[in-house]
Amino acid sequence: MRRQLERYGRWLIAIGVLMAIAAVCAGYILVNQRLSLPFRDTYTVKVEMATVPGLAPGLGQPANVAGVRVGMIKGVELRNGRAIVALEIERDKLPRVWDNAFATMVPNSPLKDLQMELFPGRPPAKELPDGGLVPIARTSPPIDSDELTNALDLDTRRFFNVLVAGSDEGLAGRGEDLRRLFASLGPTAEDLRTVSGALAERRRQLRRLVGNLAILTRRVGERDVELAKLVESGNATVTALAAEERALRASVRKLPATLRTTRRALDSARDFSAELEPAARALGPVAARAPGALKAAEPLVREAVPILRDRLRPLVREAQPLARDLAPATRSLSAVTPSLTTAFRGLNYIVNTLAHNPEGKDEGYLFWIAWFAHNGMSFISNEDANGAAWRGMLLFDCATLYAFDGIGPLLSQLGDLAPFCPK
């Protein structure tokens, strides 16, 4: 045996090295061929598709979520004329899938190598069990370009060919411009993402609305007798309204005049509100003092009750005929009241200006008006049979006289001014 080992030992070593190299190569190939390792924690999700052209299970086509591989396509079967694609999902990469999940089959290469893009859903939907099915209503099969072009008529295809050829010529050498164009679309894409989020929220609200409407419909179905009575009562109401058609028409004909009167009243109320605001501000201090004034007026009110009952009430009864006679005069007075209000407002302003006494040594207009009246009486205090005679005193100095060249000869006629105003 020892002799045989010495004779063939190097060959045994070479065979062992080759077997080790073969094992390493086989492991590498199996790993890259997506061999399913035992004892992995996986679960199966089935997807119902209308068609899966070009899908060959067993080639390790990936199942992705947001571009990240979470499993692979394990098999496909035909059930009721539809393809059922089985996905093997690794639990450590995607712990669960909800029953509002959505799946779409997309190519990942120009050679139509297919992969499954899975949107796992979210609460409040229920968790999809192992082997659960995503129905065809929430799946999208791959769409080939020939399906799109086959849907077009002959003229549209020709125009499309012209468009593609023209785009090839127009975009030649414009790669940098296209890059800047796509980069400028970033804010727009962000805004579209916000809009999509809002639409998704509206979708949840719409689903809730549909559920509430279903509950309402069921409750209404349980109350069909009461609903029938409601319809009968509504019919009776409409019949009664139809019987009063003429009265309704008359009311509608009077409505425009009523609206015009209402508009005039509102226009008048606008002027009233403009005057009401300053009046309300002016009444603020009065309102603050009103509680104390009311308390102080309690004795007066107690004393006034017998006076009102025994004296004023008989007077009012006796004055009623006079009030009826005064009604036309009151209406005429109300027509001129706005003008009187404006006049008295101006008079109030004038009186306030005259009666104002400023602070300090200066005096107001009333003080100087009294002096003006006194001086006026002194000015015309002398009179005879011909009437009042004005009198006064003229004061001037010599500098004033000699300041004017033309006045000297005139004054010289009155006398010699040299003794009084020597030069």
pLDDT in tens, 57-74: 777 788 899 888 888 888
User: How high is the pLDDT of residue 209?
Assistant: 85
- Residues 95, 114: contact at Cβ < 8 Å? no
> Would the pTM count as exceeding 0.75?
no
* Comparison of pLDDT for 126 and 415, the residue scoring more: 126
pLDDT of residue 421: 62
- What percent of the chain clears pLDDT 90, i.e. is strictly above it? 1
Contact 107, 85 (CB under 8 A): no
25 by DSSP, 3-state: which? helix
Mean of pLDDT values over 79-94: 88
When pLDDT is averaged across residues 232-250 and rounded to a whole number, the result is 84
Q: Tell me the per-residue pLDDT of 1-49, one tens digit each, with 9 for 90 and over.
A: 666 666 667 777 888 888 999 888 887 776 666 556 666 788 899 999 8
Q: What local confidence, expressed as pLDDT, does residue 34 receive?
A: 58
Q: H helices of 283-297, where?
A: 284-296
Q: How confident is the model at residue 394 (pLDDT cuts 50, 70, 90)?
A: low
The residues, any chain, with a CB within 8 Å of residue 120's CB and separated by 6 or more, are 65, 94, 96, 97, 98, 101
What angle (nearest 5°) sits at the alpha carbon of residue 44, between those of residues 40 and 46?
A: 160
pLDDT at residue 370 is higher than 70 = yes
Confidence (pLDDT) at 4: 67
Q: Is it the case that residue 398 has pLDDT exceeding 80?
A: no
pLDDT at residue 401, rounded to an integer: 65
Question: In whole angstroms, what is the distance from residue 300 CA to residue 22 CA?
Answer: 123
Tell me, what's the pLDDT at 412? 62
Q: How far lies 323's CA from each of 312, 313, 327, 330, 332, in Å?
A: 15, 14, 6, 9, 14
CA separation, residue 127 to residues 72, 93, 193 (Å): 20, 16, 27
| Distances 141 to 104, 111, 136, 290 between C-alpha atoms, Å | 6, 17, 9, 83
Predicted local distance difference test score (pLDDT) of residue 38: 63
Which pLDDT value is given to residue 392?
66
Number of other residues whose CB lies within 10 A of the CB of residue 310: 9
pLDDT at 403: 65
Identify the pLDDT of residue 413.
Answer: 60
What is the predicted pLDDT for the residue at 5?
64
Q: How far is CA 154 from CA 137, 159, 388, 403, in A?
A: 32, 9, 121, 115
Determine the pLDDT at residue 345: 86
- Sorted by sequence, the CB contacts under 8 Å of residue 178 that are 6+ apart come out as 171
Average pLDDT, the chain: 80
Average pLDDT on 114-125 reads 86
CA 367 to chain centre: 63
Q: Which of 94-98, 134-138, 360-364, 404-408 has the lowest mean pLDDT?
A: 404-408
Number of helices (H) and strands (E), helices first, in the chain?
Answer: 13, 10
The Cα 134–Cα 116 span in angstroms is 13
pLDDT value at 414 more than 60: no
Question: Quick check: helix, strand or coil at residue 75?
Answer: strand
Q: Is the dihedral of CA 48, 53, 58, 63 positive or negative?
A: negative
Any idea where the domains of the chain sit in the sequence?
34-145, 196-243, 297-350
CA 260 to chain centre: 34
Please give the angle made by the CA atoms of 75, 78 and 83, to the nearest 5 degrees.
70
Read off the pLDDT band of 416 (50, 70, 90): low
